[in-house]
Amino acid sequence: MISKASAQPSPGADTSGDSYLPHHGNGGYRVRHYDLELDYKIGPNRLSASAAITAEATQALSRFTLDFGEFRINRVLVNGKPAKYTRRAHKLQVKPAKSLALGSEFLVEVHYVGNPRPLPGLWGDIGWDELTDGSLVASQPVGAPSWFPCNDHPADKATYRVTLTTSSPYLVAVTGNLVSRYTRASTTQWVFERPEPTPTYLMSVQIGRYDDIVLVSGGVPQRAAVPPRLRRAFARDFGRQVQIMDSLQRMFGPYPFGEYVVVVTDDDLDDPIEAQGMSIFGANHVDGRRTHERLVVHELAHQWFGNSLTVADWRHIWLNEGFATYAEWLWSEESGGQSAHAWAKTWHARMKLKPADLRLADPGVSRMFDERVYKRGGLLLHALRSELGDAVFFPLVKAWAMENRHGLVTTAGFVALAERFAGRSLTAFFDAWLDAPALPPLPA
User: pLDDT tens digits for 149-184?
Assistant: 999 999 999 999 999 999 999 999 999 999 999 999
User: What pLDDT does 12 receive?
Assistant: 56
Q: Per DSSP, what are the bridge partners of residue 366?
A: none
Model confidence at 5, in pLDDT bands (50, 70, 90)?
A: very low
Q: How far is residue 135 CA from its own chain's centroid?
A: 18
Average pLDDT (370-381) is 97
Average pLDDT (79-99) is 95
User: What pLDDT does 146 receive?
Assistant: 97
The string of pLDDT tens digits covering residues 320-330 is 999 999 999 99
Amino acid type, 414: F
Average pLDDT (367-373) is 95
Q: Per DSSP, what are the bridge partners of residue 39?
A: 48, 165
Residue of 282, 296, 303, 283 lying closest to 239 (CA atoms): 296
User: What pLDDT does 265 receive?
Assistant: 98
Find all residues with CB under 8 Å of 163, minimum gap 6, and list them.
36, 37, 38, 189, 190, 191, 192
Secondary structure of 301-368 in HEC code, one letter for each residue:
HCCCECCCEEECCHHHCHHHHHHHHHHHHHHHHHCCCCCHHHHHHHHHHHHHCCCCCCCCCCCCHHHC
Q: How many CB atoms lie within 10 A of CB 116?
A: 24
Spatial distance between the Cα atoms of 188 and 170, rounded to a whole number of angstroms: 9
The string of pLDDT tens digits covering residues 395-424 is 999 999 999 999 999 999 999 999 999 999
Which positions are annotated as active-site residues?
299, 374
User: What pLDDT does 88 receive?
Assistant: 87
Q: pLDDT over 90 for what percent of the chain?
A: 92
Mean pLDDT estimate for the chain: 94
User: What pLDDT does 89 receive?
Assistant: 84
Spatial distance between the Cα atoms of 398 and 378, rounded to a whole number of angstroms: 16
Q: Per DSSP, what are the bridge partners of residue 256?
A: none
Q: Has 285 been labeled as part of a binding site?
A: no
Spatial distance between the Cα atoms of 272 and 278, rounded to a whole number of angstroms: 11
* CA dihedral (215, 218, 220, 221) positive or negative: positive
Q: Can you state the percent helix, strand and coil of the chain, rounding each to 5? A: 30, 30, 40
Spatial distance between the Cα atoms of 262 and 239, rounded to a whole number of angstroms: 13
19 in Cβ contact with 314 (< 8 Å): yes
pLDDT for 3 beyond 80: no
110 in Cβ contact with 65 (< 8 Å): no
User: What pLDDT does 9 receive?
Assistant: 37
- The long-range contacts involving 97-102, CB below 8 angstroms and separated by at least 24 positions, are 99/60, 99/61, 99/62, 100/29, 100/57, 100/60, 100/61, 100/62, 100/64, 101/57, 101/60, 102/57, 102/58, 102/59, 102/60
Q: Which CATH superfamily is domain 1-201 in?
A: tricorn interacting facor f3 domain (2.60.40.1730)
Specify the DSSP element, H or E, that contains 137.
strand 134-138
Q: Has 298 been labeled as part of a binding site?
A: yes
Residue of 256, 247, 240, 299 lying closest to 275 (CA atoms): 299
Domain spans in the chain, listed from the N-terminal domain onward? 1-201, 210-303, 310-435
For domain 310-435, give the fold. Answer: Neutral Protease; domain 2 (1.10.390)
Average pLDDT (51-72) is 96
* CA dihedral (236, 238, 244, 249) positive or negative: negative
Output the CA–CA distances (angstroms, integers) from residue 130 to 115, 135, 206, 284, in the order listed.
Answer: 10, 4, 10, 17
pLDDT for 13 beyond 80: no
Instruction: Tell me which CATH code domain 210-303 carries.
Output: 3.30.2010.30
The string of pLDDT tens digits covering residues 99-152 is 999 999 999 999 999 999 999 888 889 999 999 999 999 999 999 999 999 999
95 in Cβ contact with 84 (< 8 Å): yes
Average pLDDT (190-214) is 97
* CA atoms lying within 13 Å on the CB side of residue 341: 6
Average pLDDT (423-427) is 98
User: What pLDDT does 121 receive?
Assistant: 84
Average pLDDT (76-92) is 95
64 in Cβ contact with 13 (< 8 Å): yes
Spatial distance between the Cα atoms of 390 and 45, rounded to a whole number of angstroms: 52
User: What pLDDT does 16 receive?
Assistant: 76
User: What pLDDT does 10 receive?
Assistant: 38
pLDDT for 29 beyond 70: yes
pTM for the structure as a whole: 0.94
Q: Has 321 been labeled as part of a binding site?
A: yes
